[in-house]
Amino acid sequence: MLHFSRWKIIAIVATCLAGLLFALPNFFSEETVNKWPTWVPHKHLNLGLDLQGGAHLLLAMDQEEIKKDWMTNLRDSARRTLRDAKIGYSALGIQGTKLNIKLTKPEDRDTALKELRKLVQPIGNVMLGSSTDDISVKAGDDAGSIEVALTEQGIKHRVSGAAASSIETVDRRINGLGTSESTVVRQGTDRILIQFPGLQDTAELKKLIGETAKLSFHEVHPSTSAEDAKLTATPPGFKIYAGAEGEGGEYLLRETPVVPGEDLADSQPGFDHRDGQPVINFRFNQAGARKFGAFTKENVGRPFAIVLDDKVLSAPVIREAILGGSGQISGNFTVDSTNRLAVQLRSGALPTKLTVVEERTVGPSLGADSISSGKMAGVIGGIAVVVLTILAYGTFGIFAVVGLVVHLILTLAIMTVMGSTLTLPGIAGLVLGVAMAVDANVLIYERIREELRAGKPAVSAIDAGFQRAFITIADSQLTTLACALIMFWLGSGPIRGFAVTLTIGILTSIFASVTVVRLLIWQWIKAQPKGRGAISVPV
């Protein structure tokens, strides 16, 4: 029915006004918007790298470091496995991607091989018959020797996993800066592409993502110092670590951490309540809290070291057992460095160091040209649509044009509120949404013409036109919406931007082309003078 109740009219008008209010800042400069009252929305629509310029970084992972870390963990696991099986060994050393083990008793080799093969992890798909092992364990050439080596497939699998983990970590770190329009995607096997719109100085960004931020807590050797270890020999299982900048000195720490960084649940910047110096407050997960509590309880009066990226931040003495699972890291921090480090720790450690192999700062000139061309095309296309619509449908054509304006305003408003990023593909989605909104009105008006030719009265023809054309409109829009959702689900980057804009455009076009235009036509019918006979429908 064409009739609208009072609350429906209020709801439609309020929706249109709210859309206008949230879209309004996009038509003014940021300086002008900042002068507006606080109750007025100030948020602008984010522009992508292709429209406003920004930073373009290509990062490469250090595959050798991935292999080195893997071999170190493998050596510790092999040492622990042999110790648990009570099998003695005289040598256990790393040579490239191989771990060479020399047993004390050659007759223990079969037992050792059986135990060490428990470290092998299958990779690939067993169901498809493409499964293989990540490491190989076999007897060496000499009696009592065993060789544990990384397989080629295992290395590829580990690098691929490190790349996926690095992308997630980098994305969390960048989002920690308060942005939502950055793009982090994988290129090739070991490279990561970052596009950060609106950023011209990449120094802070490179510092944020260039550090691995591997935090761990280590036991300090109870009797031997780093200086003594250098003069004699480093005890098995221990390693000399350098102090961080400002700390100085060297420390002899157990290589296997008491609590690894993976057990860190949260980190926040703060200030020490005693001297007001910047600190980092951290909290472990349940497993980390249990390990940390047990270690501090057994080692009261002894120091333990807090290590970040193989450098000792501090080595405080345990005064009492720390059972709450939380603590504080102090050092030569500034407010900026605590904020950055807290973001890094909170986002997780990078599996390996990332090196910038390509850096470009894209200026806004390309975006300015695109926007200028887009404005020209939009003005010409908009004028053509308005003229043709009014020529074809007269007064109802004007109502359709008003519906198009409402559609555009609501689309901009929703994208602004959602924090979406407008890119060139997004503009294409915006234009396609306008075309679909016009198409909906064409379907409605042509249906009204058919009803009038069938001899129906004006009001009945208009009502039937909206009701029957809506089925066709809904079918076509739902089909397009399904395609947009699939593009958003399977796509990335510009494809997702196009899908988001198109999805919003579909929803707003139905509201504007059907509900708003129908309200305008109903108001037009009510405004017709009484007593003039049949209403002449201007379509």
- State yes or no: pLDDT of 44 exceeds 80: yes
Average pLDDT over residues 166-180: 68
DSSP of 467-533 = HHHHHHHHHHHHHHHHHHHHHHHH--THHHHHHHHHHHHHHHHHIIIIIIHHHHHHHHHHHSPTTS-
Q: Would the CA dihedral through 485, 490, 494, 495 be positive or negative?
A: negative
Average pLDDT over residues 499-512: 88
- State yes or no: pLDDT of 225 exceeds 80: yes
Per-residue pLDDT band for 537 (boundaries 50, 70, 90) equals low
Residue ranges of E strands in 159-262: 183-187, 191-197, 215-219, 238-243, 250-254
How would CATH label the architecture of 211-360?
Answer: 2-Layer Sandwich (3.30)
- State yes or no: pLDDT of 335 exceeds 80: no
DSSP of 66-123 = HHHHHHHHHHHHHHHHHHHTT--EEEEEEETTEEEEEESSGGGHHHHHHHHGGG--EE
Predicted confidence at residue 173, as pLDDT, reads 72
Picking from 35-49, 73-87, 169-183, which range would have the lowest pLDDT averaged per residue? 169-183
394: which 2 tokens?
Answer: 């007269």
Predicted confidence at residue 402, as pLDDT, reads 92
Residue 494 and residue 485: Cα distance in Å, rounded? Answer: 14
Per-residue pLDDT band for 370 (boundaries 50, 70, 90) equals low
Is 0.85 topped by the overall pTM? no
Residue 104 backbone dihedrals phi, psi, to 5 degrees: -70, -40
The residue among 63 and 129 whose pLDDT is bigger is 63
The residue among 457 and 48 whose pLDDT is bigger is 457
pLDDT tens digit sequence for 255-291: 888 887 777 777 778 887 777 778 788 788 888 888 8
Do 65 and 353 touch, CB atoms closer than 8 A?
yes
Q: Give the DSSP H or E segment for 135.
A: strand 135-139
Q: Give the DSSP H or E segment for 402.
A: helix 365-418
Residue 224 zone, left/alpha/beta (φ > 0; ψ -120 to 50; rest): beta
Q: Are strands 215-219 and 304-308 parallel, antiparallel or unpaired?
A: antiparallel
Per-residue pLDDT band for 83 (boundaries 50, 70, 90) equals confident
Place of tokens 């798909």: 125
Place of tokens 């160091």: 353
The torsion of the CA quartet 85, 87, 91, 97, rounded to 10 degrees, works out to -40
Per-residue pLDDT band for 5 (boundaries 50, 70, 90) equals confident
Produce one character per residue of 499-508: b if its CB has 16 or more CB atoms within 10 Å, e if not: bbbbbbbbbb
Predicted confidence at residue 212, as pLDDT, reads 67
59 pairs with which residues across the strands?
192, 356
Picking from 361-365, 429-433, 496-500, 511-515, which range would have the lowest pLDDT averaged per residue? 361-365
Cβ neighbours of 528 (radius 10 Å): 10
The H-assigned helical ranges of 419-457 are 424-453
The residue among 302 and 424 whose pLDDT is bigger is 302
Give CA 498 to chain center in angstroms. Answer: 18
- State yes or no: pLDDT of 15 exceeds 90: yes
Q: What percent of the chain has pLDDT over 70?
A: 88
The CA-atom distances, in angstroms, between 140 and each of 11, 102, 121, 148, 196 are: 80, 9, 21, 9, 51
- State yes or no: pLDDT of 177 exceeds 70: no
The CA-atom distances, in angstroms, between 511 and each of 6, 141, 375, 533 are: 18, 78, 25, 32
Do 182 and 194 touch, CB atoms closer than 8 A?
yes
- State yes or no: pLDDT of 410 exceeds 90: yes
Residue 160 and residue 70: Cα distance in Å, rounded? Answer: 14
Residue 444 backbone dihedrals phi, psi, to 5 degrees: -65, -50
Domain boundaries, the chain: 6-51+365-527, 63-157, 211-360
Average pLDDT of the chain, as a whole number: 81
Predicted confidence at residue 66, as pLDDT, reads 85
- State yes or no: pLDDT of 155 exceeds 70: yes
What single letter denotes the amino acid at residue 425? P
111: which 2 tokens?
Answer: 């037992």
Nearest CA-CA partner of 525 in 396, 437, 439, 391: 396
Q: Are strands 46-47 and 421-422 parallel, antiparallel or unpaired?
A: parallel
Predicted confidence at residue 10, as pLDDT, reads 92
Q: What is the CATH number of domain 63-157?
A: 3.30.1240
Average pLDDT over residues 160-166: 82
Residue 516 and residue 55: Cα distance in Å, rounded? Answer: 42
- 6-51+365-527 domain in CATH 3.40.50.300? no
Nearest CA-CA partner of 465 in 229, 457, 535, 523: 457
Predicted confidence at residue 175, as pLDDT, reads 66
